[in-house]
C-alpha cells in the first residue's frame, strides 16, 4: 500500500526519536511484524521499531487504534504515536527543554557559514586537509538545514491539521 507524504515524514521523525534514544541504525526496523498472543494470535505491523537487547520501542506513524496500542504495550517497553497532535506536544516539550540549545545551534550554523566563506576563498591556496574540512562543514550545514526545514514543515502541517480538527 503506498504511503502518503506525511506518513513518510512521520517515519523519519520516528527514526530521529529512536536515534535520540540511543538506537543504532541496525537496531531500527520498518514495517516490523509481531505476533501477540492474546485470545489467540493477533498479528500487527509496527511502522517503526527499535529493537535491542536492553529495550524494545514501537512507534506508530499517523493514527493507530487503541486496541493495537494496548497489544503493542504488552510486547514493547515503550509505544509512541507520531501524529499531528503528538508532534505539537513533542515540539512544545522539546522547545521548552532545548530552546537555548537551538539558539546556540543557529549561532553555530552562522559561524560555520562564515568560516566556510573564509575557507572557500582560502581553499585554492591551502589544499589537502582544507578541502576535506570544507566538504565536511558544508555537509554538516546542509544536514542541519534540511532537518530544520523538515521539522518546520511537519510542525506547520501538524498545526494546520490540529486547527482543522478543532474547528
CA 53 centroid distance within chain:
22
96-148, pLDDT tens digit by residue?
Answer: 766 666 677 788 888 888 888 887 777 666 666 767 788 888 888 888 888 88
Overall pTM surpassing 0.75 (yes/no): no
With helix as H, strand as E and coil as C, how does the chain read?
CCCCHHHHHHHHHHHHHHHHCCCCHHHEEEEEEEEEECCCEEEEEEEEEEECCCCEEEEEECCCCHHHHHHHHHHCCEEEEECHHHHHHHHHHHHHHHHHHHHHHHHHHHHHHHHHHHHHHHCCCCCCHHHHHHHHHHHHHHHHHHHHHHHHHHHHHHHHHHHHHHC
Going across the sheet that includes 28-37, the strands are 28-37, 41-51, 56-61, 78-82
Give me the CATH topology for the region 5-82.
Answer: Trna Endonuclease; Chain: A, domain 1 (3.40.1350)
pLDDT, position 106:
82
* Dist CA 116 CA 42 (whole Å): 55
Asked if residue 29 has pLDDT above 90, the reply is: yes
Residue with the three cell numbers 576535506: 132
34-91, pLDDT tens digit by residue?
Answer: 887 766 778 889 999 999 999 999 999 988 889 889 889 988 999 999 887 777 777 7
Asked if residue 1 has pLDDT above 60, the reply is: no
- Confidence class of residue 18 from pLDDT cuts 50, 70 and 90? very high
- Confidence class of residue 150 from pLDDT cuts 50, 70 and 90? confident
Question: Could you tell me the residue ranges of all domains in the chain?
Answer: 5-82, 96-166
- Confidence class of residue 15 from pLDDT cuts 50, 70 and 90? very high
CB-neighbour burial class of residue 27 (10 A; exposed 0-12, middle 13-18, buried 19+):
middle
pLDDT, position 38:
67
pLDDT, position 42:
81
Single out the residue of 61, 53, 55 nearest to residue 14, CA to CA. Answer: 61
Amino acid at each position: 500500500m503506498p504511503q502518503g507524504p506525511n506518513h513518510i515524514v512521520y517515519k523519519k521523525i520516528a527514526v530521529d526519536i529512536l536515534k535520540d534514544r540511543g538506537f543504532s541504525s541496525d537496531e531500527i526496523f520498518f514495517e516490523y511484524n509481531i505476533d501477540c498472543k492474546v485470545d489467540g494470535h493477533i498479528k500487527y505491523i509496527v511502522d517503526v521499531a527499535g529493537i535491542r537487547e536492553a529495550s524494545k520501542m514501537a512507534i506508530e506513524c499517523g493514527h493507530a487504534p487503541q486496541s493495537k496500542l494496548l497489544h503493542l504495550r504488552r510486547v514493547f517497553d515503550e509505544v509512541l504515536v507520531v501524529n499531528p497532535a503528538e508532534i505539537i506536544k513533542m515540539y512544545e516539550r522539546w522547545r521548552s527543554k532545548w530552546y537555548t540549545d537551538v539558539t546556540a545551534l543557529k549561532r553555530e550554523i552562522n559561524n560555520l557559514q562564515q568560516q566556510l566563506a573564509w575557507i572557500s576563498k582560502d581553499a585554492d591556496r591551502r589544499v589537502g586537509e582544507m578541502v576535506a574540512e570544507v566538504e565536511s562543514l558544508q555537509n554538516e550545514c546542509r544536514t542541519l538545514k534540511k532537518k530544520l526545514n523538515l521539522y518546520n514543515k511537519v510542525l506547520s502541517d501538524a498545526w494546520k491539521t490540529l486547527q482543522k480538527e478543532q474547528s
